[in-house]
Structure 1
Amino acid sequence: MLARVANNLFWMGRYIERAEHVARYLNVNYFSSLDAPNEKSQSRDHVLHSLLFMANGPVEEGYELTEKNAFYDIGLNPEESFSVLNCIKYARENANGARDLISTELYESINKFYHFVLNYDADFFVSKGLFDFTTQIAESTSIIRAKIRGTLLHDEVYAIIMLGVNIERATQIVRIIQAKYYDALKAQGGYDKKFSKSYEWTTLLKCIEAYDMMRRHYKKTPTSLSTLEFLILNPECPRSVMNSLVQVKNHINVLNEDKYPEKDSAAFLIGKTHAEYRYKTVDTIEGNIEHFIEEIQDTLIDIANKIEKEYFKY
């Protein structure tokens, strides 16, 4: 396989996963805020800052913070690289570059998805189409993932796509944790004045589609400690950072059969990170969440860069 084509597969997986997380955060965080138990969490400025922060980082000074501007930039603005529209556009472009290695069913699903987003009416979206648009994004990405798992050979092509999917999933989960952590700091209050019992932890779980399973696992109301433990360290939660690391480790082994990988290799860094998080405890994370976020983000970037350098350089 050409390195260029492998790179296309990797980034196709990443952009599909990115589009889903951005759209779901836009949906859940916005609509959950309408029922929030305190004024700060209901504040439009608070919510819009959170949406833009998750999608692209801190809001630039002088930005006209309105719902229409925020929704358009995150959803359908062709000039913003982080928009859902551009994520799908880039996913399709990468699928085009690897057309001979993926199934017709998968390609048609991506192509249909792209045209749905491209032709979505922007005025309708920013005024009253938020729920419909973001729900369609979530459903379309689920279909695409099903096509990846159900129509491709589970060989190196599949492994490369899933490397991209799982690295991006871990990255987006950390970004969402970061955004809601800052929201919880700003919006303490409601049912309980304590940061650890902020309503934002419930919203965080819903943004990642993990609320019901977290309640089933812990059988209690979410707190900062239980939420972080579930979303970061629980290998049985398919949305957790740990689960993504397990998947990345499994898929890199398809590409690298060395039993003892070199210390500077992607496989070594993945194995080291997996082992570290396997034995990490949540109290060490909760004590310094910002340090954890910075550390894991840097590690995920290093892993992705090493994978690209070793396997996709052309």
Structure 2
Amino acid sequence: MLSRTASELYWMARYLERAESIARVLDVTYKLSLMPIRSQQNEDLTLPLNLTGTHQLFEEHYPRLNMANLLNFFALDPRNPSSIYSCFEVAWNNAHAVRGSLSSEVWESINATWIEMKLMRSKGVAKVGTDAFFDWVKERAHLFRGAMFGTLLRNDALCFIRLGTLIERAYATAQLLGVKDQQLDADSDPVREYYRLDTLLRAVSAREAYHSLYKHPVSRETVAELLVLRNDMPRSLRACVGDVVQQLERIGGQRANVPRRLAHTLNVELRFSTLDEVLELGLQAYMMQFQAKINALAESINHTYLEAL
């Protein structure tokens, strides 16, 4: 496969996954904003800004930090490269460039998403409904993945799409865990802690899974175990990295030793780590280390497969 084609497929998948991740984070932020007014409210509202590093850009275009402005900035504003609108636009451009490598169902799912996104931008999130908008973004991501698994050949194209999805998902989960743990440290109220943990589980579609696996109240320790070390949780760090290893092994190639070594090393670390070891280091420190390692892996994949020789 040409490196340019592989790059388009990889980044198409990353931006589609990023759009869904932003929608999940906005959903969490929106629900936290509905809690009674308190001193920690502004810190909750800055969650998406902290994750994307867009504080300065937001302040340049919006006079006040409130939920309405955040929704517009992260949902529909083309000036924000991290907005859902911008992510879908980049994903569509990448998909359009490699239509020949996609099935008609996959292309139609992405094309229809972009057309509907432009219509929603003309209406605004308020007219669509906040919860309805978040659900729509997640449904479009699910539709893309369903079409991908159901119609694409099991070849390198599918592997690069899966790689983009998994790398982005692992990074997003690590970011969210680190920032949420920092917020929990800053607020010792047990009621708000429970609510924050519950919304975190909802953000990664893990609430039902948590209560199926753990028969006691939600705690920071068990949430960390679920989202870091459990291989049966689809959005956990271990599950994502384990699947990355499988995709890299399928692609192979003479120059693939470096990304495969990095992926296998990270997978072994997650597989044999214990919750006590994670907590001893500190969840925030552990997440920062993981983000550095997953970025190094992504850079190695880019250098090995996606850059023209």
Instruction: Give the TM-score of the pair, scaled to structure 1.
Output: 0.90
1:25 corresponds in structure 2 to 25
1:183 corresponds in structure 2 to 183
What is the Cα deviation at residue 302 of structure 1? 0.8
What is the Cα deviation at residue 281 of structure 1? 1.2
Figure out how many residues of one structure are paired with residues of the other and give that number.
Answer: 303
What is the Cα deviation at residue 150 of structure 1? 0.5
2:263 corresponds in structure 1 to 270
1:294 corresponds in structure 2 to 288
Aligned residue among 250, 256, 259 for 1:254: 250
d(CA) in 2 for partners of 1:121, 1:209: 26
d(CA) in 2 for partners of 1:215, 1:75: 31
Question: C-alpha deviations, 1:248-301, integer Å up to 9, x for none?
Answer: 00000011167x974xx1011000110111011112222312221111111111
1:158 corresponds in structure 2 to 158
Matches within 5 A, 1:1-314: 1-34=1-34, 39=38, 43=41, 45-54=42-51, 56-57=52-53, 59-60=55-56, 63=59, 64-121=64-121, 124-126=124-126, 129-191=129-191, 198-256=194-252, 262=257, 265-287=258-280, 288-314=282-308
Question: C-alpha deviations, 1:219-248, integer Å up to 9, x for none?
Answer: 111111100010011001011010001110
d(CA) in 1 for partners of 2:103, 2:168: 22
2:77–2:83 CA contact under 8 A, matched in 1: yes
1:187–1:198 CA contact under 8 A, matched in 2: no
In the alignment, structure 1 segments of 5+ residues that lack a partner are none
1:73–1:83 CA contact under 8 A, matched in 2: yes
What is the Cα deviation at residue 133 of structure 1? 1.3
d(CA) in 1 for partners of 2:145, 2:301: 22
d(CA) in 1 for partners of 2:137, 2:45: 20
SS in 1 for 2:112: helix
Identity of matched residues, %: 26
Mean Cα deviation higher: 96-105 or 21-30: 21-30
What is the Cα deviation at residue 60 of structure 1? 3.5
d(CA) in 2 for partners of 1:77, 1:62: 10
Amino acid at match of 2:298: A
Amino acid at match of 2:93: E
SS in 2 for 1:65: coil
What is the Cα deviation at residue 127 of structure 1? 7.1
CA distance 1:97–1:58, shift in 2 (3 Å): closer
In the alignment, structure 2 segments of 5+ residues that lack a partner are none
Instruction: Give the TM-score of the pair, scaled to structure 2.
Output: 0.91
d(CA) in 1 for partners of 2:49, 2:122: 18
What RMSD, in angstroms, separates the aligned Cα atoms of the two structures?
A: 2.2
Pick the structure with more helix per residue: 2
CA distance 1:121–1:163, shift in 2 (3 Å): closer
